């Protein structure tokens, strides 16, 4: 069979684009195919956090992958800027999770502590005084008891990241075809046939990284995978003068002064409607964190659907019946982008997932296993 490409990646969101860029960087002939603007896109509701704390508390392999990716992010950001000319605005000076009340602080400690452990992993619990010292420009609300602080945490500008990945793909010689939804994938002699709105392409390997569209395409290749949707809503205010010196879950300030508030975690199926009730909850918590947020003017409110496996950890797997067909889904597309473009792309280029990825196989859902 005459192959058009070495690898076709289905999906050009943060996951697929990072994998495609990594493969192209290794010299592979790559096509990355994406659907239309009306498709569900997790990147639209992403706060841009590069986050280690809280990841994989009960799945050590996930924690280690997150740690490796976060450690690789500084070099990855430099490479992206050199390649695309786009600064993704990486800041990695630490990150916070605000805790309201002493009970909230105790619950945060519990959630960060592995079973049988004696304290949080990749985070420390700090009291109100220590938190105030980290955020000298922000008045804390009376309910704030403290926070968890992750020294390895940070953030990027999500839309700049996605744009940098797309520009980088082109400059590395990969084909990026947008508005070109894949309708069928099938194994054939020597590789795979991929049908889309613009015709048929062939490749020796295929990677399905299509977010909420992954499951039906994966099923056609012998991979039975459950992909869950979670609605997240966000509010944007400002720009305002600098208030928040570190990113936090629920609120961060971009370099231009814009404030992002969110997000909700709503298991509502594939309903991407924004709701007043969720916006009110997000705004109420923001004002509890700081009265300074009560005086900023809201500019936008929207919702998106994010991608989850059953236990919240990534899924990376090869088809048991169609060798060379892989799936990749995750909830941490920003944090893991460096790993996806690095060690995961290297493994996919070689045609096999090494043992370090074995904990992420979807077969784990057939036994009792929680993150």
Closest CA to 275 of 257, 286, 292, 263: 263
pLDDT tens-place values along the chain, 371 residues long: 346 999 999 999 999 999 999 999 999 999 999 987 666 677 666 789 999 999 998 899 999 999 999 999 999 999 999 999 999 999 999 999 999 999 999 999 999 998 877 778 899 999 999 999 999 999 999 999 999 999 999 999 999 999 999 999 999 999 999 999 999 999 999 899 999 988 999 999 999 999 999 999 999 999 999 999 999 999 999 999 999 999 999 999 999 999 999 878 888 888 889 999 999 999 999 999 999 999 999 999 999 999 999 999 999 999 999 999 999 999 999 999 999 999 999 999 999 999 999 999 998 887 544 44
Cβ partners under 8 Å of residue 275, min gap 6: 233, 303
Q: The whole model's pTM is what?
A: 0.94
Q: CA-CA distance, 282 to 291, in Å (whole number)?
A: 14
- What pairing do the DSSP bridges indicate for beta strands 49-50 and 199-208? unpaired
342 within 8 A of 72, measured Cβ to Cβ: yes
What is the dihedral sign for C-alpha 246, 73, 174, 87? Answer: positive
Q: CA-CA distance, 187 to 12, in Å (whole number)?
A: 21
Helix, strand, coil % in the chain, rounded to nearest 5 = 35, 25, 40
Closest CA to 337 of 26, 73, 23, 7: 73
Q: Domains in the chain, please, with CATH?
A: 5-84+157-226+312-366 (3.50.50.60), 95-151 (no CATH), 228-308 (3.30.9.10)
Per-residue pLDDT tens digits for 82-92: 999 999 999 99
Q: CA-CA distance, 340 to 130, in Å (whole number)?
A: 35
Range list of β-strands (E), the chain: 5-10, 30-33, 49-50, 95-100, 124-127, 144-150, 154-155, 175-177, 182-188, 191-196, 199-208, 228-237, 251-253, 259-262, 298-308, 315-318, 325-329
Q: CA-CA distance, 170 to 180, in Å (whole number)?
A: 16
- Tell me the β-bridge partners of 208: 10, 327
Per-residue pLDDT tens digits for 163-190: 999 999 999 999 999 999 999 999 999 8
């Amino acid at each position: 069979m005459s192959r058009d490409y070495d690898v076709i990646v289905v999906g050009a969101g943060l996951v697929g684009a990072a994998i495609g860029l990594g493969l192209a960087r290794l010299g592979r002939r790559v096509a990355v195919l994406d659907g239309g603007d009306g498709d569900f896109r997790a990147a639209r509701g992403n706060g841009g956090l590069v986050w280690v704390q809280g990841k994989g508390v009960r799945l050590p392999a996930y924690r280690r992958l997150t740690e490796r990716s976060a450690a690789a992010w500084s070099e990855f950001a430099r490479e992206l800027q050199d390649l695309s000319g786009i600064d993704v605005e990486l800041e990695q000076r630490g990150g916070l999770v605000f805790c309201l009340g002493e009970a909230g602080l105790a619950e945060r400690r519990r959630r960060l502590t592995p079973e049988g452990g004696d304290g949080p992993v990749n985070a420390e619990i700090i009291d109100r005084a220590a938190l105030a010292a980290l955020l000298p420009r922000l008045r804390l609300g009376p309910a704030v008891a403290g926070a968890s602080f992750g020294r390895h945490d940070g953030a990027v500008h999500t839309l700049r990241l996605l744009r940098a990945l797309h520009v980088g793909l082109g400059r590395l010689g990969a084909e990026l075809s947008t508005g070109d939804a894949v309708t069928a994938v099938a194994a054939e002699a020597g590789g795979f046939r991929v049908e889309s709105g613009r015709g048929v392409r062939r490749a020796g390997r295929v990677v399905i990284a299509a977010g909420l569209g992954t499951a039906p395409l994966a099923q056609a290749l012998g991979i039975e995978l459950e992909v869950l949707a979670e609605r997240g809503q966000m509010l944007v205010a400002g720009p305002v003068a600098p208030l928040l010196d570190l990113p936090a879950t629920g609120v961060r300030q971009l370099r231009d002064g814009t404030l992002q508030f969110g997000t909700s975690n709503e298991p509502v199926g594939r309903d991407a409607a924004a709701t007043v009730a969720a916006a009110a909850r997000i705004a109420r918590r923001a004002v509890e964190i700081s009265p300074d947020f009560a005086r900023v003017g809201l500019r936008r409110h929207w919702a998106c659907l994010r991608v989850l496996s059953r236990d919240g950890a990534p899924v990376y797997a090869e088809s048991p019946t169609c060798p060379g067909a892989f799936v990749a889904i995750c909830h941490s597309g920003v944090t893991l982008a460096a790993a996806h473009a690095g060690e995961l792309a290297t493994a996919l280029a070689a045609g096999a997932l090494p043992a370090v990825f074995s904990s992420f196989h979807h077969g784990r859902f057939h036994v009792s296993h929680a993150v």
